[in-house]
Amino acid sequence: MAILKTSWTNMSPAHNCMGYANIRGQGEGQQCGFFVWVDPPICATDIVIILGLLCKFQACNKEVAFLQKRLRFMVAIVVLLIFLIFFLVDLVNDCVS
């Protein structure tokens, strides 16, 4: 069965195509070769717009990944500080008693 996929390459972004990923026959791997574009090619202006949006989307994903790492680091620091505060309070209570 052919699979409908969307191309996200620079040459044909958001262009739908159908094809077989790989057909295996009689124990040997062979590529079927079936491939067809489902929708007509888009104009150059649309390609520029889509590629610009894709770049912004990828930049946002990178920023989200960076901020998630930063958040994990800050949570670890806060947890460490909480344990340090409890240790120091316990130490001071032992010294006072």
Relative to beta strand 35-37, strand 28-30 is: unpaired
Q: Same structural domain for residues 6 and 23? A: yes
Q: Same structural domain for residues 59 and 91? A: yes
Show the domain range for 16.
1-42
Q: Same structural domain for residues 50 and 76? A: yes
Residues 22 and 3: beta-carbon distance below 8 Å: no
Question: If pLDDT is split at 50, 70 and 90, which confidence band does 27 have?
Answer: very low
Number of separate domains in the chain = 2
pLDDT at site 15: 78
Question: If pLDDT is split at 50, 70 and 90, which confidence band does 23 have?
Answer: very low
